[in-house]
Each structure stands twice: as structure tokens, then as C-alpha cells.
Chain A
């Protein structure tokens, strides 16, 4: 079976790759492009560890085929920090100890970033329901929710200042 040739944009960079028809976007990111920041926790879209942002919407990369990336704009955890500068969410996660083993962290950060882009002032309930598709087994979610709300507050302050 011949491979698909795909042209796409990942974290702002033009990317080209070949993939088997049945390879998922997650397989491509991890195995073809060496971008191992997105994790496979289940392969069936239940855990959110592979959350990426595709054309402004969060998606489980394990539920999308690599070939479907053609012509799209994809953002992953690797694109969240700007060089040395961490995104406020990343900083707040560290400050609040909102991670223990860290395997769910990339997926949750990508999902939380999308939340704050859509709703800069979410309530605790809104944060919890938005993140309901991202499983964490270590933290019990408490510090994660606090970190997201704290980051949201800082980002709102910045926007007003700007």
C-alpha cells in the first residue's frame, strides 16, 4: 500500500510528511516527526493525553488520521512556549504544583489554552467541564483547576494593561 504525501502547518512551521493511510495524526507526530510531547494514553479518544489544536479546535490526535492534516493549522504542546518564554499557563502549572507524573500535562495545557482563547474568564465549573475530556490520575484535578483560573486572571490583567 502506498503512502500519503501530506503538506500541513505545525506550530507555525510548514511541514511535509509521508504516512500510511491508517496512521493517526498522533502516530505521525510521534513516530514520523519526532514530536513526542503529545502522548498516547488510550488510542481511543477517551483520555485526552494526545490533545492538539487543529484550526482553532481541540481534537484528540488519536482520532484523526495523519492524512487529514492536509492543509490545516495544527498546534501542539511543543509550540506553546515562545522560545525561552513559557506561556502563563505553563508557569502557573509549575507554581501551583499542578502536575505530578506529568503525562497528562501536555494535553491539559493545550486544552486549557484553547479554553482561555474562547472564554478568558471561566468559572470553576466551566474549567472542570472543559477539561472533562482530559484524564489525570495523579492530582485529583484540584491544583490543575486552580492553576488554570490563576493563569486566566493573569492573562486578563495583561490584556487590560496592553
Chain B
């Protein structure tokens, strides 16, 4: 049967039988019993343990590397350095790949504290650690720069000679690029404004904080072919990147994704995988690498830290007349901070005639950034939503009403250009306004804040295979690692289409040899794109079962209909036939034409954006500066919640990451540019005792581009928290907080300074 490439993708309203319920996920029992295998849980006979030597300097020329003593140590089987990573053809032309290669193993310079300089594989982890100490590296220490504003100064230490010549007026600079979006005339708009608020903000970098450190096991044979087991958000991305960096044919490496202990975007790239493959190739044995927590903080990508300036003007009736932003993001030692998306997302919630956002992509001596849940948007939203609420206050308007007055709706021209289709922002604002939370009283030293947020959501390349087993159960293979419980949703969608029970469908995440290419799990795309492909694959399988039934009955296929999980004769000439269930057809498959399956490959598009509004109540202790989150509500548009419990889980998880980023998480560097808090003790993520229950309201404004109306939800939830919390804190403290994190020392200083200013004014 020919491959279906044209199919109805548009939303069709319907009654659901399986979708929308809360069944137990298929990988659940494994995860509560410890059976599930994560990145570090694999072993291979004869496996070697590898460790990576990392730069102790923030910025230094690597003059020489002498590995002879390490190689001579008993038990050491292979050592690699920059000499083992030549620049292959595919990498020469691609700046991003070149950055990845250089990040994976330093070349001429160590660019940050923790940059990989060499790696050793040995029979025992303790021998590998000992061998690292025997590697002699000669460094020439250079001046370093950590902060984005300082890195943009003309006298800042330069990281890359070939970079930033445009900004530097012909000389190298640390500004890799400048981006600008917007439309209209902001100067004219500000001239029309009757009230203007203008503020500068700083946000610290935050790490995705996944509890599972990166880990992989590479096993390459002497013919240059082999396998790689790793925790990743994209096994196809890992395969393609490793083979390109190491000059291998893509088909010679089969990558199997383990269960993944958190990613949030941080595992959409490679750090240790090419090193493991290179060592395994050299040693002729399996090589396992597991990062320590210290290494994860020093050498894997957090998101960018940022310096932001926002100016918004409005008329007295609350209409915004102009909005302007300057964003400076540092993305670590290589170009590619998400400032583009930050600029585009900044004012995405508002219908504006005059808007502009300018973004600077800055490099510094810090680890190479990686995507973190709605990359670029949370910092921008923090700054914008702070100004929006402050402006509402100046106008004497309720913060939700002010947002409603200017909210983007269906058919609004977005601030970044395209016209929105059907979107749910207004619905979330209205629902937020109606919550019991929003209408409840506050206590002393408490303040309430709201903020809205948005994420684009993406589609992407996706391939799914669905096979009918002899007993009528269904084997479903998807190619997108499950980071949030998505397998449950895939099973639900397949069951919905086929008319079978949820428990009859078993979903696995397949390796790279078993399916067509799949983009990484990112952009909140799995429920949307893998779901779309699953629905289409199920429909194809259903059609084939219809054709089989027709064959068995000797009638044309269009005289057969599918109802309640079975084929029924349909129409006046169909004749009398007992219905054939999936089980019946599956049992006869071998005799009636062979295996029955459906599959679907697509570059999925049509993902709809997800908007949200958050409400936060915060209390400040004026003696210690400590902020307590007393109450938190997430209101977000999911389009159609395929599995409501996991949609709520995404809302809550993103909100809590936002709370951590807002209140405590930060990178503390000393004056040598070395990271002082590379561990969970001092990189303080929220713990259970910090938090209240996170209330959730799921709004469903169907996405016109998906048969069930699904919108991705995973990323939007981290966009509003910092703004909402800053608004709540500023209300509680009665002074505007503009620096993230709003840690106790910062809040204390803010309180003391504002008290001093108030006293001086008296």
C-alpha cells in the first residue's frame, strides 16, 4: 500500500473514549521498582571506565599536553586529546558543529573552568582517576570575563579572534551577533504615551538541574561499527553528531536511548558521547563515561545569564502605545545564546502597533549554553512582565485587566511578525481572574503577582511504527525519548484510533536502527508530533485491517466500516457478516496476506503556541530577606489534554523550576573565573519543604493544526514564574526587585537601600 503523505491534520471535534483520562503509564512499574535502566545503569563485558581531565583555568592557552606517564600506568588502555579529534569535512563548513567539537575537547585554548582537555579509559575507575593526575598540561593563563555587560566592553578579554568583527568595528569582540525584531515606530508610540515605565534587569544563569548526570556506554568494534547507549533527548541527534565529528558513516553507529533522568533541553546536545566513542574505537573495548555532579555544573550547558532593558508606554485608558527592549545574553564560550528567541518571545503576549526588541549574543568564559525549557523566553518575560505589572499599577488598573486590554488574540499580528491563528491567552487570563486564589485575601508582608507567558512550540521530523501482534495487542515504536510520561499519551492516542483498550497498546522508544529519523525531544513537540504520527500510523493500520476484513468477506473495502475496535459490513450491498475484531484479524494475519502494520514519517508542522497566566502569593521576612511562596496557580492552554495528570505535571514542574530560578539558583564565580558552587548543596534548587501545592487549571482552546487539538505544554510553564514572583515580591517588599535570583542577601540589601532612601527623603 502506498505511503500516505497527505492526510487530514486539522482539528476535528469529537467525543473521546481513551484520550483525556488518567491511566497508569506503561513504564511506570519499572520506574517505581528500580528496574528501569537509565544512562549509568548499563554494563558490558570487558568494559573500561573513562574519566575526563578538565581545565582548572577559566581562560588559558593550552601550550602542550603530555600523556605519556598516564599511558604507561598499568590498567590504562587508551588516552585521547585534541590530536584525536581532527576536523572532518562535515565539521569544517558548519560553525555550530565546530563549536560542539571544540566544546567536547578543547583545541588551542581552554575556554572555561571545566573545559575538557583530555580523557583516559582504564580497567577501573580509580585507575582512570589516578591516570588523570599523570597527564601533564602546560597552560598559559589568560585574562577571563564572566559577565555579559563586561564582555561587551571594548577592553574585554577576547575569546575568539575570528568572532564579533562587525560589532567590534573591524576588530574581534565578544559579540557574536545582533538580532532585531519588531514593527511600527516605537519613538512615535512613546510620544503618544501618557505613562511610561523604563527599567533595567539582570538574571543569573540557571542550570536545567536534571538529577541524572550525563552517562553513556560506547562499544565500537575493530571494523569501526558499534553501539552507543546514552541518556539523551535525541538518539538520532547523538548518532549524527558523533559520526560527523569522528568521520564515521552514519549507519555505522547505532544509538539506543536509555530512560532519561531529566533533560529539560540540556540533553539535546552531546558532551561526553563523542569522547566515549573515540576512546572505545582506540581501545577496542566498551567504554563507559559517567559525569560527576561537579562536572555537570562546570562543563554542561546552563541557560544564558542576561542583562535586560525594557521600556513600555501606555495611554491613560490602558492601551499600550509602544514597547521596546534590549537584551544581552551570554551563552558561554561559544556563539548561540537563545537571545533570538528571547527577543521574539519578549512581547509575544501583546497586540502592539509599535514594538522593537534588540538582542546581543555575547560569549564569555563559561560553559557552552544548552537549551533550557523555552530557551531565551523566561528571562525576557521576567523583565517584560515586571514592567507590565508596574505600568498597570501606575495606571491604577488591575494587572489582569491591563493584560486583557492589550492581550494578543485570534488573528493578532504578533510582536515578532506572523499573525496568530487561534490562541488561548485571553482564555487563560479570564480563567485566572475567576480562580478562588486570585480572589482570596492576603496576609501581612504578603504580595500577589501575576504574569503571562508563551512558547512557540515546534513540530519536527518524526517517525512512528505500529505493529499488530498475533493476539491483537499493539506494539508501538516511537523515536522521541520520553521525558515527561509521553508514552502513556501515545498509547492513549493509538487506542483511541483503533478502538481498543489502552492496556492493549505497549509503547517503546526505539533505537536509531529501527525507525526513520526523529528530531530531538524538544520544543514541547512529543505529544504533538509523535502523537500526530501515532494517530496517522494507527489510521493506516486500521485501513489495512479494513482491507483484510473486506478480503475475508469478499466485498470491496468501502463496504466495510470500523467501529468499536472491529470491522463491520456497511451499506446495502455488504451482506451479512459477523464483525471481525482486531484480535480476530490479527490471529488470521499470516494466512490473509502477512503482517499488519502502520507507520508514518513526517516533518510535522502546525504545532500551536501555548499561552499561560500564573498567579503567585509571596511573603517576605523583612529581617532575613527570605521569600516564601505561599500559594501558586498555573493557568495554561493545553489545546487538548491527552493525559491530564501529565499535563498538570508539566505545569507544576515548570513552575517550580521557575521558582528556583527566581529565588535561589545562581552560578557563583570567584575572581579567577572558577565556579565555587558546582553541587546541589550550594546551587540551591527547590526542595519539598520550600513549596506549597501547585494549583493547576487546564484551559483547552484546540490547536487547529492537530486532529485532537493538542498543543505542547512542557515549556510555557517556565516562562511566567520569574515575572509573577518578582511582581509578588515587589508588592510584598514594597520595592521593585530587578535582579534574579531574589536571594535573601539581595532582598535584604534592596530593603535596606530603599529604607535608607525613604529616610533620606524625609
Chain A residues at the B interface, C-beta cutoff of 8 Å: 20, 22, 30, 34-44, 46-47, 49, 76-78, 80-81, 86, 90, 93-97, 99-106, 109, 124-125, 127-129, 131-146
Contacts and interface: CB of A to CB of B under 8 A. Distances in A.
Residue among A49, A105, A142 facing the most chain B CB atoms (10 A cut-off): A142
Interface stretch (B335-343, B598-606, B679-687): B679-687
A78 B35 CA distance: 8
Q: Which of A36, A43, A47, A137 is packed against the most chain B CB atoms within 10 Å?
A: A137
Interface in B627-668: 643, 645-646, 648-649, 652-653, 655-657
A97 B687 contact: no
19 contacts: A42-B679, A76-B34, A78-B34, A81-B33, A97-B648, A101-B212, A101-B484, A103-B212, A106-B34, A109-B32, A125-B689, A129-B689, A135-B211, A138-B653, A140-B686, A140-B691, A140-B694, A141-B687, A141-B691
Interface string B176-216: 00000000000000000000000000000000111111000
A103 B262 contact: yes
Given A86-B32, A137-B685, A94 B293 contact: no
A142 B680 CA distance: 21
Contacts, number: 177
Count chain A CB atoms within 10 A of each CB in B33, B260, B290, B292 and give the residue with the most: B33
Interface in B23-40: 24-25, 27-29, 31-38, 40
B688 A132 contact: yes
Contacts of A40: 40, 213, 290
B485 interface: yes
A102 B27 contact: yes
A98 B241 CA distance: 34
B37 A36 contact: yes
A76 B648 CA distance: 30
A21 to B, nearest CB: 10
A136 B690 CA distance: 12
A84 B135 CA distance: 51
Most chain-A Cβ atoms within 10 A of its Cβ — which of B24, B28, B34? B34
- Residue among B126, B211, B259, B691 having the largest count of chain A Cβ atoms under 10 Å: B211
B interface SS class? loop
A137 B210 CA distance: 6
Interface in B228-279: 259-264
B22 interface: yes
Nearest to A146: B693
A4 to B, nearest CB: 14
Contacts of B208: 137
Contacts of A42: 293, 679-680
Q: Which 4 A-B pairs have the closest CB atoms?
A: A37-B34, A103-B261, A102-B31, A140-B656
A141 B484 CA distance: 14
Given A47-B680, A97-B22, A138 B41 contact: no
B483 interface: yes
B680 A104 contact: no
Contact of B693 (A20, A78, A142): A142
Contact of B211 (A49, A97, A125, A141): A49
A35 B645 CA distance: 30
Interface residues of B, number: 57
Contact of B484 (A30, A38, A138): A138
B31 A140 contact: no
What's the dominant secondary structure at chain A's contact region?
loop
Given A36-B37, A135-B211, A138-B653, 8 more contacts: A36-B38, A37-B34, A38-B34, A46-B293, A80-B33, A100-B484, A106-B34, A109-B32
A139 B34 CA distance: 18
Given A42-B293, A86-B33, A143-B645, A94 B688 contact: no
A143 B651 CA distance: 12
Nearest to B33: A81
Given A46-B679, A94-B25, A145 B688 contact: yes
B33 A90 contact: yes
A145 B693 contact: yes
A16 B685 CA distance: 38
A122 to B, nearest CB: 12
A145 B694 CA distance: 11
A44 B688 contact: no
A46 to B, nearest CB: 4
Contacts of A46: 293, 679-681
Contacts of B27: 102
A137 B31 CA distance: 16
Contacts of A145: 688, 693
B273 to A, nearest CB: 19
Contact of B656 (A77, A105, A141): A141
Contact of B32 (A41, A99, A125): A99
